[in-house]
Chain A
């Protein structure tokens, strides 16, 4: 009996990938555990092994095929002693029906009517911002683990080494405290370093430098010393990477005077805010998210698009309830707003985009209009941005409120590994809908 070998998933989020190479040919004998193919996604490459011994009967998907859906049969494995299936040229790899439209480009709001919009991927928006700013200003350099020859652990620094050379695109060993400090010194002395952390969890190694040195030196020096540096990298939950690689630093970092903090959701904001961050004369913590890197958004040709810090973006107008959040939680709010619309509730959706400075005015304006507010974030609840907003709204707009502000946040636990628990630990659209109903007494 021939068994179908199917396209593997490299991660729970993977929907399709490229079959880069076959290491075996039709008719070859394979042992259990032999590497038979190489599969690539935009993020990773996997050596794919045979799970049983046999002979490769037929290759159904030739090497070099892109966008092969997970679970598509890619080859037939014959048990030892089987005769090969008769060649049937008609047989082609079935094309799996596309799953939910999760990867379809999301339309960004606010562009002028009639302007041509095209899909822009977050990872490429970031890369473009880096490339353009490095071309614009020779003082901009990039420092990080695997940022040069390897082009970035998440390929955000793709092409930079080729274009700008190893003096400006600097690979460093696993030495976070030191390379953060190195960037800070270079910034004091006139460069504009962009320091990449492979994961913001590793910035904890460098927290002293970020807070004690980068954030405070302008103040401590009575204005004599500037520290124009950007610390950037993936932040927060990814796919089952566990407690030590998945936590949100937005509220932590936003607590610190002297730092600016951005956590963009949309591709155009990723570009525009990163450009603003690099041009800033103060240290900026620039948070990205692994689940957003591959997402595409409909945006116009951006060119030198710079988004100022401290201005929220309104994704959706609505008179009944204000939803306010940032980072990947914006997607959760938009999903919730759709569901609420089905119930006849018009939700306003505010994306803060930067957490320091934080656009309190836009939030207060929304609350004065809708009289109800739900904050949404993936980080922990205690001392979170949501609780901060609840306090500000109570102080500044108490008389306009028809209900206490509801705060939806990540669960108050380290991130669990198991798929089911991880899903429970992050705010879901239904949690936001439920909170919106609660503040509307529905």
Chain B
């Protein structure tokens, strides 16, 4: 969204295309830099899931809040956070979103209403409800988007949060990103994700998370419900993660062919591209210009990150508390 505010001319569906493409190209670059040893630790990519956050953010308004897990680069880009700051953080640089202290999993930007970046599975869910509580207390009609995965939905604190959100009628929109594989885990998938929220009296909807227009439509209904003060809402977005769970996961629990098939038939970016061209909403030439623009943004972010300095040793003891 804010990416458009920052000067990209596209709006509407062409803008959705651009926003998804920015996430795709950014994540590809992050994966490459990881392979080169420039990104360390855990790095979870969002490739394949771009339509979910892009469709949700399409209905976000100024003042809305968002929180997610460790798989959060896409959410940050969709919230309009500078790609350079995200890339620099992946490289552990002073210019990074967390000044090199957080890394891929732990980035924050309160001025964008982005509250992380959480490494502990499920922990962001009650925190998200708390952000919604603050909005409600301040009598805004802002929505707090609380993103989490299908495996996180198994955590006890998620069930506890449903209970509280329903009880306190909190203005939060739970977005369960069901990317089909919780990780290399062989534990079978839990029961219907949305039924659990419904059992607490929360309104729900399921949506094809590979179709950005469908996500936007579902998000619109949900956000209107929340803004109208009718309490929490949960959306299950059925999506697909192309890559391993993290850079260190070969995803051997599924076939390469399956991933290729999804990519060939349901890719969120390719299918929007085809529809836009088919509808005559955009020309090949405009799309090519967008491709170039996005590639340049990502290259510039990576180049700047590589040039940027590491944090000074003095930074080690800064920001532990408000005093230091």
Q: Is B63 an interface residue (CB 8 A)?
A: no
Number of A-B contacts (CB under 8 A): 169
Q: Is B289 an interface residue (CB 8 A)?
A: no
Chain A residue with the shortest CB-CB distance to B313: A424
Chain A residue with the shortest CB-CB distance to B39: A240
CB of B185 within 8 A of CB of A145, answer: yes
CB of B40 within 8 A of CB of A417, answer: yes
CB of B315 within 8 A of CB of A421, answer: yes
Task: Write the B305-323 contact mask toward A (1 if CB under 8 angstroms, else 0).
Answer: 0000011010111001000
CB of B185 within 8 A of CB of A146, answer: yes
Q: Given contacts A49-B31, A205-B120, A416-B100, are A421 and B316 in contact (CB under 8 A)? A: yes
Q: How far is the CA of A243 from the CA of B102 in the complex (A)?
A: 7
CB of B320 within 8 A of CB of A51, answer: no
Q: Is B180 an interface residue (CB 8 A)?
A: no
Q: Is A128 an interface residue (CB 8 A)?
A: no
CB of A413 within 8 A of CB of B316, answer: yes
Q: Is B156 an interface residue (CB 8 A)?
A: yes
CB of B154 within 8 A of CB of A173, answer: yes
CB of A146 within 8 A of CB of B184, answer: yes
CB of A174 within 8 A of CB of B36, answer: no
Q: List residues 395-426 of chain A with CB under 8 A from any CB of chain B.
A: 411-414, 416-421, 424-425
How many Å from the CB of A353 to the closest CB on chain B?
29
Q: Given contacts A11-B40, A421-B311, are A45 and B119 in contact (CB under 8 A)? A: no
Q: How far is the CA of A50 from the CA of B128 in the complex (A)?
A: 38
Checking B32, B92, B244 against A240 with a beta-carbon cut-off of 8 angstroms, the contacting residue is B92
Q: Is A188 an interface residue (CB 8 A)?
A: no
CB of A244 within 8 A of CB of B40, answer: no
CB of B100 within 8 A of CB of A146, answer: no
Contacts of A412 in B (CB 8 A): 317, 320
Q: Is B28 an interface residue (CB 8 A)?
A: yes
Contacts of B316 in A (CB 8 A): 411, 413, 416, 421, 424-425
Chain A residue with the shortest CB-CB distance to B246: A44
Contacts of B182 in A (CB 8 A): 173-174
Chain A residue with the shortest CB-CB distance to B247: A46
Contacts of B190 in A (CB 8 A): 173
CB of B35 within 8 A of CB of A417, answer: no
Chain B residue with the shortest CB-CB distance to A50: B32
Q: How far is the CA of A9 from the CA of B106 in the complex (A)?
A: 22
CB of A418 within 8 A of CB of B154, answer: no
CB of A420 within 8 A of CB of B32, answer: no
Q: How far is the CA of A421 from the CA of B100 in the complex (A)?
A: 9
Task: Write the A47-65 contact mask toward B (1 if CB under 8 angstroms, else 0).
Answer: 1110100000000000000
CB of B40 within 8 A of CB of A240, answer: yes
Contacts of B231 in A (CB 8 A): none
CB of A417 within 8 A of CB of B248, answer: no
CB of A51 within 8 A of CB of B37, answer: no
Most buried by A among B42, B186, B247: B186
Q: How far is the CA of A172 from the CA of B187 in the complex (A)?
A: 6
Q: How far is the CA of A218 from the CA of B154 in the complex (A)?
A: 31
Q: Is A427 an interface residue (CB 8 A)?
A: no
Checking B35, B40, B186 against A150 with a beta-carbon cut-off of 8 angstroms, the contacting residue is B186
CB of B92 within 8 A of CB of A417, answer: yes
Q: Is B225 an interface residue (CB 8 A)?
A: no
Q: List residues 141-166 of chain A with CB under 8 A from any CB of chain B.
A: 145-146, 148-150, 153
Contacts of A104 in B (CB 8 A): none
Q: How far is the CA of A46 from the CA of B183 in the complex (A)?
A: 15
Q: Is A43 an interface residue (CB 8 A)?
A: yes
Task: Write the A124-150 contact mask toward B (1 if CB under 8 angstroms, else 0).
Answer: 000000000000000000000110111
Chain B residue with the shortest CB-CB distance to A238: B41
How many Å from the CB of B83 to the closest CB on chain A?
17
15 contacts between A and B (CB under 8 A): A10-B248, A11-B248, A49-B28, A146-B183, A146-B185, A171-B185, A178-B156, A205-B120, A240-B40, A242-B42, A243-B101, A245-B119, A417-B41, A418-B100, A419-B92
Q: Assuming A46-B35, A173-B185, what are 19 further A-B pairs, CB within 8 angstroms?
A: A45-B250, A47-B243, A146-B186, A148-B186, A150-B186, A153-B184, A173-B182, A174-B121, A174-B151, A174-B155, A244-B106, A411-B317, A413-B317, A416-B101, A418-B101, A418-B311, A421-B92, A421-B313, A425-B316
On B, residues with C-beta under 8 Å from A are 28, 31-32, 34-37, 40-42, 89, 92-93, 98, 100-103, 105-106, 118-122, 151-152, 154-156, 182-187, 190, 243-244, 247-250, 252-253, 310-311, 313, 315-317, 320
A-B pairs, 3 with minimum CB distance: A417-B103, A240-B40, A45-B250
